[in-house]
Amino acid sequence: MQKIHLIARGIVISGDHVLLVKETSDRYYFLPGGHIEYNEAARDALIREMKEELGASCMALDYVSAVEHKYDMNDETYHEISLVFKCELNGLNYPDPPISLESRIEFEWIAIAELKDHDILPEPMVQIIEDVYNKSVPGNWFSTIEGSFKKVIHG
């Protein structure tokens, strides 16, 4: 059955580092967060996921952007839309090592200047993180499905 995954993701910046997560069995990094459940607000989903995965209280602050992404894994095509928020975690800052409460994932502080040296998916997230760090206004819609990723700014 084909479906679209709706995900809330958080950009957590501490100093000049950003918090990223990856599956322990994989090399790709992504922003922390998770699936939005039916009838759940995106910000609430992000707060819940941060508590479940890190045991940290999250304050989901500002909406930043949306990223539409398609990828293949295990002979199946996935389609996801990530709603990205800038957020803060109470009690967790760089260089404190983030401890995952789930054995399948691990968290790591990555220097923003070194983001392009890591495999971060979906690709537009690197630009979004840099824009948030530099306090510039990111595009509010990115798509990897429309060819090479496209940044669209409205308003």
4's enclosing H/E stretch is strand 4-11
- pLDDT of 1 > 60? The answer is no
Q: What is the pLDDT of residue 78?
A: 85
Q: What is the pLDDT of residue 6?
A: 96
Q: What is the pLDDT of residue 93?
A: 92
Contact by Cβ (8 Å): 81, 65? no
pLDDT in tens, 55-89: 999 987 889 999 998 888 788 888 999 999 999 99
Average pLDDT over residues 11-26: 96
- pLDDT of 154 > 50? The answer is no
Domains of the chain, with CATH numbers?
A: 4-152 (3.90.79.10)
Q: What is the pLDDT of residue 138?
A: 60
Residue written as token pair 């989903």: 45
Instruction: Put residue 114 in one of left, alpha, beta given phi > 0 → left and psi -120 to 50 → alpha.
Output: alpha
- pLDDT of 153 > 70? The answer is no
- pLDDT of 142 > 90? The answer is no
148's enclosing H/E stretch is none
pLDDT in tens, 90-139: 989 999 989 999 999 999 999 999 999 999 999 999 999 999 999 886 66
